Amino acid sequence: MTGTLQLAAYGPLDQLDSGLVRRLFARTQEEDEELPRDTRRILGQVRREGDSALFRFAREFDGVELDALEVPRSAWDEALGRLEPSVRESLERAARNIEAFHRAQIPDEVVLEVEPGIRLGRRFVPLATAGVYAPGGRAAYPSSVLMGVVPARAVGVQEVVVCSPPAADGRPSEVVMAAAAIAGATRLFSVGGAGAVGAMAYGTEAIPRCDAVVGPGNRWVVEAKRQVAGEVVIDSPAGPSEVLVLAEEGEASPALLASELVAQAEHDPDAAVVFITPSVALLDRVRDALSEQVRSLPKGEVVEAALATQGALLLAPDRDTMLDFAQTYAAEHLSLCTPSLRGDLDRLTTSGTVFLGETSSVAFGDYMTGANHVLPTAGTARSFSGLSALNFMRSFTWQEISPDAARGLAEPVAILAEAEGLPGHAAAARMRGGGA
């Protein structure tokens, strides 16, 4: 190893300790038995006490005495006016791309005549109100405001509420307020943590009840979203950031490959970053490039902590093993630098989002391409999808049955209804078929 850089795993995949391999795949923190209990308590207080609980949590958790929960629109506009022009231009460009991509995801109505005279349809409509959580605390993420608000507005949601933790002045960060204005949010509240999730899920005197609650956050926010999921739509369980980089010899420079690992590792000490290749020479060069880049980083300590706990540089015995590893790992971000990008994309179906080729950096997707960066982590991409237009829509079906079709359906339906012991159903069918 070059320098003092430590990795959780390094070397041939087939020689790793089985316990270490399981930990790489699990990528979950030690279970905190108090977290679900304490989160449930917070949610219960919000449900029962409404705004008064939120004011109390601001004092207790944020150290702020709030005069009001809602941030007036004039404050957003002032923050937008003070925003550095280059930052504003970049956020506005990102918003345009996000809107275009998510508007294109709106499904068309399905209409089908399954039998003569039996017409069925499925129609998609926007939710009435959506809630977006914007993280605060250690860092502000205006890009996450865009990723939540813009898709909701693109599909036609009329009320889009943003909650973000208050800073010392009692309001969210300037850049979060500016992003809310750019994205088209309708209301903004200085509320953070599990309390914000509860407020959007249940509604309070000030904060409207939302039909969906989305957005990344700390473990309290993630746990709160899990607990309210039976009452409102949520997005995926999103924990610490992660990336899996697959590369073969000659497909990408070691420096670019290492930079993908560094970029995700700087998010969080618990971030998971893994590189796998069938090339011994490439593995060694990426290791050296990674060590060099970490030494020069302002956030080097965060990156080093992530590499030591969930970082791995792995040698696969062959490309099939490398691809099988990726399919099982189910990464939030998958970076492919292989000679058969499209073929490998067809084979790898379990990631949150896939980046094709060395110039397709995850950083571009995090900010500017228009695809959503709120994605499932810790292997949940096997079951969950990333945030999309569909999170802000619901569907219903309609059915139209002609008189002739009703006559043809009546007796078969009556027979099935009687077999299930439902004579009222049978009678309703026969009456429409002309029977007794």
Q: Read off the pLDDT of residues 46-67 as tens digits, 9 standing for 90 and up.
A: 999 999 999 999 999 999 999 9
**Identified catalytic residue from 102, 223, 267, 333:** 333
Selected catalytic residue, list 332, 358, 400, 420: 332
- Report whether pLDDT(200) > 80: yes
What was the pLDDT predicted at 33? Answer: 82
Angle formed at CA 244 by CA 312 and CA 362, multiple of 5 degrees: 130
The token duo for 155 is: 């599909």
Residues whose CB is less than 8 angstroms from the CB of residue 343 and which lie 6 or more positions away in sequence, other chains included = none
d(CA 133, CA 193): 9
With cut-offs at 50, 70 and 90, classify the pLDDT of residue 436: low
DSSP string, 390-435: GGGEEEEEEEEE-HHHHHHHHHHHHHHHHHTT-HHHHHHHHHHTT-
Which pLDDT belongs to residue 50?
97
pLDDT the model gives residue 162 = 98
Q: Express each pLDDT in 296-321 by its tens digit.
A: 888 788 899 999 999 999 999 999 99
Tell me the sheet residues that pair with 337: 247
Dihedral of CA 11/14/15/18: which sign?
Answer: positive
- Residues listed for the chain: 436
Rounded-to-integer distance, Cα 379 and Cα 385, Å: 11
Tell me the mean pLDDT in the region 116-122. 98
pLDDT tens digit string along 238-247? 778 999 999 9
**Opening angle at CA 186, ends 180 and 189, nearest 5:** 70
Mean pLDDT along residues 27-47: 87
When pLDDT is cut at 50, 70 and 90, the band that residue 407 belongs to is very high
- pLDDT in the model for residue 1: 37
Set out the domains of the chain in order of their start, with CATH numbers. 9-27+240-370 (3.40.50.1980), 34-234 (3.40.50.1980), 402-432 (no CATH)
Q: What is the mean pLDDT of residues 404-427?
A: 97
Active-site annotation holds for 333? yes
**Would you call 332 a catalytic residue per the annotation?**
yes
pLDDT band per the 50, 70, 90 thresholds, residue 18: confident
Q: What pLDDT does 141 receive?
A: 87
- pLDDT (mean) for 133-146: 86
CA dihedral in degrees (142, 147, 149, 155; nearest 10)? 160
pTM flag (> 0.85): yes
pLDDT bin (cut points 50, 70, 90) of residue 24 is confident
